[in-house]
């Protein structure tokens, strides 16, 4: 928690430092903003697993904040996010996330910009308080123009999450980079990569020999990805975006399976089994999004995502929580398709002096094909939201 | 000297514009549409007023023909023709002011019709006159002004009132070829999709206009804004 306040103080200090010197011109400009969507949501599978519990609830996403331009070279933003999802009966994973964040962007010299972000996120699960967590994060990046149409951005990121009543405290340090190019003729492309090293201070390894540091046998993950994204404007109102990403997580984390009887070690000793390389996996992901802008506040977006995730050591289990026979490593293939329609509310859109007031209808279908019975599922979500932004 | 030449040219064009309508033919048309004698007189008076103003009467006659073909009430047809005539007269005023500002007047009739269409969509002469100084400085012709007014009208139809779009359209009219002004509709929609407030959209789009003036294929200010918003 202390690091959270340190991050918040650092953000405030950065904002202060970004203020122009006395007498500098032009005067700073500040703008308050909000972005809200609130409405009912119906899911045929709230927990997104084989339980297939259907329920109706509500989804609220709100952001309010202040954007400030201190000078032509310096921009800052502070905002608060509230993200709440609540179902009536399938309510175990109901949650509320509160996040406070700030960023400062400063042009150091003509082709080079520095951006610093920091934030604090409080995740609250009213019905499973053990999952409550506090996350602090910070990120610094430099972005420069290699040519008038090519940019290179790179930076460092830090994140720490603590669980007061759960042994999943972790922190991570990462690097990331993006090379982007505007090819003209309404085509834009980018290559990106990121690497993150995560340490779990409370997760002792079951098998101490699997760590390089026997004195400190704790779980450590190395997660990286590389990807490419292309955006093509077929016209100024019709845009197609396609992306591919390859990711790989290497972890020394293991897991103890309590055996066919799923008993505590003291009851039936000898049927337990240590599953090493439990979290390591690779993933391929392909995404596509087609968006058509119709009029002010009106758009239609179709999106699809395919993800193939294969674990290196994690054994798949059947519906009775037993390893498959013959044994198989867990392998998931997920497809998500969605359609979103935004329309303005006619009367409010005409008479509101500022801001946007609209409705959003979202339909999504997810199919996850997995040899792990619990995660072999399908889910359909329909949501209608009142939206407003300014 | 240049202004005087433009005035003479404009006057000559004006005298030759708007071919006279055939009164007998129009009477036959109105009879067919079951116009009463006073209504016929009113229609002919409107056409006469247009002809005296050097406005394209054929376009008004076409409106009458369309109304009758759709079996509209004569009173409604008269209302449409009168509205259209007022729009053409306002367009004519704008064209005069263009000429007075040193803006070359070519394709007068087409420009009048385009301007009148824009006025029909809620654009006001004041919105268009606000474009003139920048356009005159950029040595644009009246067709560009008309295309700019048409763009203001199309933007208004898409939900962007002229007060929010005038500055950007004015800058683009001064800097871009007339046939690229249509792009502004898509650019305003893109800015709206980024949830930019009207003044933020104006700022980003003015930058877009400046960037694309220097290099039509240059990186987009909107794209940069989108990347910032999405944290890329």
Rounded mean pLDDT, A37-49: 96
pLDDT at B24: 80
At A165, is the pLDDT very low, low, confident or very high (cuts 50, 70, 90)? Answer: very high
At A23, is the pLDDT very low, low, confident or very high (cuts 50, 70, 90)? Answer: very low
Q: Is the pLDDT of residue A109 over 90?
A: no
> Between A291, A349, A390, which is nearest B197 by CB?
A390
**Is residue A249 a contact partner of residue A281, using CB atoms and an 8 Å limit?**
yes
B-chain CB neighbours of A344 within 8 Å are 159
pLDDT at B104: 82
pLDDT at A255: 83
pTM of the model: 0.81
**Is residue A271 a contact partner of residue A261, using CB atoms and an 8 Å limit?**
yes
pLDDT at A135: 97
Tokens in use for B78?
């008269």
Give the mutation candidate from A101, A139, A296, A343 for the B interface (greatest B CB count, under 10 A): A296
Over the range A277-312, which residues count as b (16 or more CB within 10 Å of their CB) and which as e?
bbbbbebebebebbbebebbbbbebebebebebebb
Q: Is the pLDDT of residue A82 over 90?
A: yes
Give the mutation candidate from B222, B227, B229, B230 for the A interface (greatest A CB count, under 10 A): B227
**Is residue A312 a contact partner of residue A273, using CB atoms and an 8 Å limit?**
no
pLDDT at A195: 97
pLDDT at A262: 58
B-chain CB neighbours of A141 within 8 Å are none
Rounded mean pLDDT, A8-26: 49
CB distance from B223 to chain A under 8 Å?
yes
| Nearest partner of B82 among B32, B122, B47, B123, judged by Cα | B47
Give ipTM to 2 decimals: 0.74
Chain B contacts in chain A segment 274-293 (CB below 8 A): 291, 293
Rounded mean pLDDT, A248-261: 81
Between A139 and B136, the higher pLDDT residue: A139
Strand partners, A55: A43
Tokens in use for B83?
């509205």
pLDDT at A4: 44
Contact (CB<8Å) A236/B160: no
Give, as one character, the DSSP assignment of residue A263: -
> Between A182, A299, A354, which is nearest B223 by CB?
A182
pLDDT at B20: 65
pLDDT at A21: 45
For A172-193, how does the pLDDT look when each residue is reduced to its tens digit (9 = 90+)?
999 999 999 988 778 899 999 9
A-chain CB neighbours of B187 within 8 Å are 236
Contact (CB<8Å) B215/A295: no
Between A362 and B207, the higher pLDDT residue: A362
B-chain CB neighbours of A389 within 8 Å are 195
CB distance from B130 to chain A under 8 Å?
no
Sequence spans of domains, chain B: 2-139
- Give residue for tokens 């993200």: A83
| Nearest partner of A305 among A377, A228, A362, A364, judged by Cα | A364
For A68-80, how does the pLDDT look when each residue is reduced to its tens digit (9 = 90+)?
989 888 999 999 9
For A315-364, how does the pLDDT look when each residue is reduced to its tens digit (9 = 90+)?
999 998 888 989 999 999 999 999 999 999 887 766 666 778 999 999 99
Contact (CB<8Å) B192/A180: no
Read off φ and ψ for residue B190, nearest 5 degrees.
Answer: -65, -40
pLDDT at B138: 81
Best mean pLDDT range from A50-54, A230-234, A254-258, A364-368: A364-368
Strand partners, A364: A338, A381
Rounded mean pLDDT, B161-171: 91
| Nearest partner of A386 among A35, A88, A82, judged by Cα | A35
- For A326, counting Cβ atoms within 10 Å of its Cβ (0-12 exposed, 13-18 middle, 19+ buried), the class is exposed
Which residues does A22 contact at the CB level (< 8 Å), separation at least 6?
A: none
Contact (CB<8Å) A293/B220: no
Of A20-34, A323-337, B195-209, which range is least confident? A20-34
Query: Coil, strand or helix: which one is B204?
Result: helix
Between A60 and A258, the higher pLDDT residue: A60
Contact (CB<8Å) B158/A344: no
**Is residue A218 a contact partner of residue A255, using CB atoms and an 8 Å limit?**
no
Q: Is the pLDDT of residue B6 over 50?
A: no
Of A151-165, A351-365, B77-91, which range is least confident? A351-365
At A202, is the pLDDT very low, low, confident or very high (cuts 50, 70, 90)? Answer: confident
Q: What crossing angle do the helices spanning B198-214 and B162-175 adopt, rounded to 10°? A: 10
The kind and range of the H/E element at B194 are none
* Upstream peptide bond of A289 is cis (omega within 30 degrees of 0): no
- Give residue for tokens 């809620």: B122
What residue spans of A230-371 are helical by DSSP H?
346-351
The kind and range of the H/E element at B99 are helix B74-100
At A15, is the pLDDT very low, low, confident or very high (cuts 50, 70, 90)? Answer: very low
A-chain CB neighbours of B195 within 8 Å are 35, 356, 389
| Nearest partner of A359 among A382, A342, A383, A381, judged by Cα | A342
Which residues does B52 contact at the CB level (< 8 Å), separation at least 6?
A: none
Please state whether B73 falls in left (phi above 0), alpha (psi between -120 and 50) or beta: beta
Give the mutation candidate from A33, A114, A293, A390 for the B interface (greatest B CB count, under 10 A): A293
Contact (CB<8Å) B183/A354: no
């Amino acid at each position: 928690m202390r690091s959270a306040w340190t991050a918040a103080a650092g953000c405030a200090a950065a904002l202060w430092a970004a203020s122009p010197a006395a007498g500098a011109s032009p005067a700073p400009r500040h703008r308050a903003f909000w972005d809200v969507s609130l409405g009912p949501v119906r899911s045929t599978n709230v927990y997104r697993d084989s339980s297939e519990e259907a329920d109706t609830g509500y989804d609220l996403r709100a952001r309010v904040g202040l954007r400030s331009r201190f000078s032509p070279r310096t921009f800052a933003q502070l905002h608060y996010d509230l993200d709440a999802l609540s179902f009536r009966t399938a309510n175990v994973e109901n949650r509320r996330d509160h996040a406070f964040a700030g960023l400062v962007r400063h042009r150091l010299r003509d082709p080079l910009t520095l951006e610093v972000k920091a934030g604090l996120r409080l995740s609250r699960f009213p019905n499973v308080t053990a999952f409550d967590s506090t996350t602090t994060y910070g990120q610094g990046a430099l972005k420069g123009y290699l040519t008038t149409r090519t940019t290179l951005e790179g930076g460092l990121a830090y994140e720490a999450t603590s669980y007061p009543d759960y042994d999943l405290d972790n922190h991570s340090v990462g690097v990331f980079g993006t090379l982007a190019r505007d090819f003209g003729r309404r085509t834009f492309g980018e290559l990106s990569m990121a690497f993150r090293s995560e340490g779990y201070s409370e997760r002792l390894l079951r098998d101490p020999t699997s760590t390089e540091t026997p004195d400190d046998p704790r779980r450590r993950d190395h997660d990286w990805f590389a990807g490419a994204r292309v955006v093509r404007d077929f016209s100024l109102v019709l845009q197609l975006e396609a992306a591919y990403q390859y990711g790989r997580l290497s972890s020394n984390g293991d897991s103890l399976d309590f055996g066919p009887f799923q008993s505590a070690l003291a009851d039936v000793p000898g049927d337990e089994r240590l599953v090493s390389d439990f979290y390591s996996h690779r993933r391929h992901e392909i995404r596509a999004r087609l968006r058509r802008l119709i009029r002010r506040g009106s758009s239609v977006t179709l999106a699809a995502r395919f993800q193939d995730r294969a674990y290196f050591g994690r054994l798949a289990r059947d519906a009775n929580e037993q390893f498959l026979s013959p044994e198989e490593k867990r392998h998931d293939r997920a497809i998500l398709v969605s359609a979103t329609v935004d329309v303005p509310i006619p009367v409010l859109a005409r008479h509101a002096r500022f801001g946007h007031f609209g409705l959003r209808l979202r339909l999504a279908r997810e199919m996850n094909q997995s040899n792990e019975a619990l995660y072999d599922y399908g889910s359909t979500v329909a949501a209608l939201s009142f939206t407003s932004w300014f | 000297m240049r202004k005087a030449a433009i005035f003479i040219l404009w006057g000559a064009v004006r005298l030759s514009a708007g071919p006279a309508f055939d009164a007998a033919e129009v009477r036959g048309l109105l009879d067919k549409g079951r116009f009463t004698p006073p209504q016929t007189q009113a229609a002919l008076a409107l056409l006469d007023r247009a002809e005296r103003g050097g406005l394209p009467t054929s376009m008004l006659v076409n409106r009458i023909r369309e109304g009758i073909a759709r079996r509209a009430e004569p009173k409604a047809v008269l209302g449409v023709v009168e509205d259209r005539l007022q729009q053409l007269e306002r367009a004519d005023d704008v064209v005069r002011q263009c000429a007075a500002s040193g803006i070359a007047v070519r394709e007068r009739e087409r420009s009048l019709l385009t301007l009148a269409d824009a006025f029909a969509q809620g654009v006001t002469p004041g919105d268009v006159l606000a474009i003139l100084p920048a356009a005159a400085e950029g040595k644009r012709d009246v067709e560009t002004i008309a295309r700019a007014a048409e763009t203001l009208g199309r933007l208004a139809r898409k939900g962007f009132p002229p007060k929010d779009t005038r500055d950007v359209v004015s800058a683009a009219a001064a800097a871009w070829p007339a046939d690229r002004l249509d792009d502004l509709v898509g650019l305003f929609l893109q800015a709206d999709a980024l949830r930019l407030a009207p003044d933020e959209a104006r700022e980003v789009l003015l930058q877009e206009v400046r960037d694309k003036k220097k290099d039509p294929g240059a990186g987009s200010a909107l794209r940069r804004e989108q990347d910032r918003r999405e944290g890329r």
